[in-house]
Amino acid sequence: MDHVVVFAVLLCSLVLFVWGMVRHDLVALSALIILVAVGIIESDTAFSGFAHPAVITVAAVLVVGRGLQRSGLVDLLAKILERVPDRPTVQVILLCVVTSLASAVMNNVGALAFLMPAAIQLARKHSRSPSYLLMPMAFASLLGGMLTQIGTPPNMIIASLRAQSSGEPFGMFDFTPVGAGLAAAGVLFIGLTGWRFLPKRKGETADEDRYQVDDYITEVKVSSQATVKGQAVGELRETFSDVDILGIVRSSQRIHAPSSSLKLKTNDILLLQADSDHLKQFVEKTKTDLAAKKRFRKDAEGSDDISYQEAVVTSSSPLVRQTAASLKIRGRFGVNILALSRHGETLRQRLDRVRFKPGDVLLIQGRTHILDDALDSMGCLPLAERSYSVGEPKRIILALLLFAGGIILTVTGLMRVQVAFTVTAVSMVLTGILPVREMYDGIDWPVIILLGAMLPVGGALESTGGASLIADQMLRAGMLIPTWASMAMLLLITMLLSGVINNAATVVLMAPIAVHIASGLGISPDASFMIIAVGASCAFLTPIGHQSNTLVMGPGGYRFSDYLRLGIPMTAMVMVLGVILIQVFWT
């Protein structure tokens, strides 16, 4: 009966993962605690997952990736990309190649985050929508992660799980034959054809224009100088037909859907929805004030110059699921949030009561000299033109030498990968490439917690016989189809699962099932490991399947269905070519 309990816990966990309202790391910890409480997992080994080589490797590689960023290497690449010629196919291919190569040696999201502003500037420079570039780059970051053992958490986990089953982990470049084939085919498909499947939207050209994001939600205050005092809401709606008046706050009382006959008074706060151009026109013509902007100016008299920046909320941001009011944005980060854009949704709450989501685009105001640091602390990626901090050549060369040293130590077998890259990470700190504070900031702690908690849960699925039971059912379903079709079915199931839950959790759950299926099919366990590694990395179908997909949703102006446009052909390509390559190299 133990396997029934494990199934029930995993089913509830999957539901919560998909629902997304509870953090993934908390869901994983809860599942672990429940299985410990019922005696399926021994309390002495409950937290053994946090000492697992895969967990140490992921943390060390994240720190090393942060060091490569800090050295100025990635900024140098981004600066070079600005010189790409005005040919869409060339731009897409080069951006995808650079993103995939960077993702092979560092965190996928980190590589994309540093290259994305350069891509947006490139699109603006050539009067083209960034939607043509951003999703291809996100998908390229997923493809590039498959190139090496350290390219993505699924590969690191699979390498460690293989060591448990056969005594030896996969090597640094054992993933390369399959990964390189899929990455090359994927980049060529995206660059030559795939980007044409994406929505065609008008690009922005003027420097003062904003990116092609959805309508902003913002608040304006009717000042004593405003021209709309005494004017009826209906007249205002006729004059500014492109601005939606969602509500009015008067004397701390919220008026929902105000009637057309209601006349505006001094100090009324209007909750508006419109794009940035129409908001700008509204404020200029009515002589109203952006509410947060006015407050900030009172606080900032005599201070440094004030700057404005658009930024996207990342999935690891402390803003996620919080409100501006609960976080006390002004006091905590020293900035104001003037407006918010969330594609496809009309938000009728006041701005300081909106719960932030990954992919939200914020218009942020702050003192120029602290704005960059504030965005880093908020976990937001700036989208406007950035000042590149290209490191000194000596620092870049030193960072590359240290990274190459970690690769050599691993490939030659002198050290296990978790030890080699821990040495590399510490060396980057000791040589001053990476400050100690940024070393800890570079670790994606929710992923570490998720992985450390899910590894014992995955072990419980195996030890209770649950994995073999699922595998037997899948084998029965595939008895009448050839081996390659069964492999394709396993790959598809893994990709679909990775589209709705974290890819590390997908690997932990699917790997023991895959080993039993491999035994039933009479193929090498290594082939099944590779199927899971590929499937967990190729989450092309949804914006929530991977942080890279979420990151580009707001800036690219994508809808959920846009991911299917490019994601379905990419998934089909991976299924066909992936099975062929795995059969060639691993069966």
Going along the chain from its start, the domains and CATH numbers come out as 2-201+411-586 (no CATH), 216-382 (3.30.70.1450)
Bridge partners, 271 (sequence order): 219, 247
How high does pLDDT run on average in the chain? 86
Report whether pLDDT(298) > 70. Answer: no
Q: How far apart are CA 519 and CA 472, in angstroms?
A: 10
- The mean pLDDT of 316-329, rounded to a whole number, is 86
Report whether pLDDT(129) > 90. Answer: no
Report whether pLDDT(103) > 90. Answer: yes
Report whether pLDDT(391) > 50. Answer: no
* The pair of three-digit structure tokens given for residue 184, joined into one six-digit string: 């090359």
Q: How far apart are CA 337 and CA 365, in angstroms?
A: 6
314 closest CA partner among 485, 113, 496, 493 = 113
* The pair of three-digit structure tokens given for residue 423, joined into one six-digit string: 């040495």
The pLDDT of residue 214? 53
Q: What is the pLDDT of residues 569-586, one digit of tens each?
A: 999 999 999 999 999 999
- The mean pLDDT of 52-77, rounded to a whole number, is 86
Q: What is the pLDDT of residues 399-416, one digit of tens each?
A: 999 999 999 999 999 999
Confidence of residue 182 (pLDDT cuts 50, 70, 90): very high
Q: In the chain, what percentage of residues exceed pLDDT 90?
A: 46
Most confident of 105-119, 194-208, 221-235, 309-323: 221-235
Confidence of residue 10 (pLDDT cuts 50, 70, 90): very high
Report whether pLDDT(169) > 80. Answer: yes
Report whether pLDDT(61) > 70. Answer: yes
Asked if 156 and 174 count as a contact pair (C-beta separation under 8 A), the reply is no
- The mean pLDDT of 176-180, rounded to a whole number, is 97
The pLDDT of residue 215? 65
Q: What is the pLDDT of residues 23-55, one digit of tens each?
A: 888 999 999 999 999 999 999 999 999 999 999
Report whether pLDDT(478) > 70. Answer: yes
Asked if 517 and 528 count as a contact pair (C-beta separation under 8 A), the reply is yes
Asked if 222 and 228 count as a contact pair (C-beta separation under 8 A), the reply is yes
Report whether pLDDT(386) > 60. Answer: no
The pLDDT of residue 442? 79
Confidence of residue 347 (pLDDT cuts 50, 70, 90): low
Q: What angle do CA 329, 330, 336 make, to 5 degrees?
A: 90
The pLDDT of residue 111? 85
> What pTM did the predictor assign?
0.78
Asked if 147 and 100 count as a contact pair (C-beta separation under 8 A), the reply is yes
Q: How far apart are CA 276 and CA 213, in angstroms?
A: 9
- The mean pLDDT of 203-232, rounded to a whole number, is 68
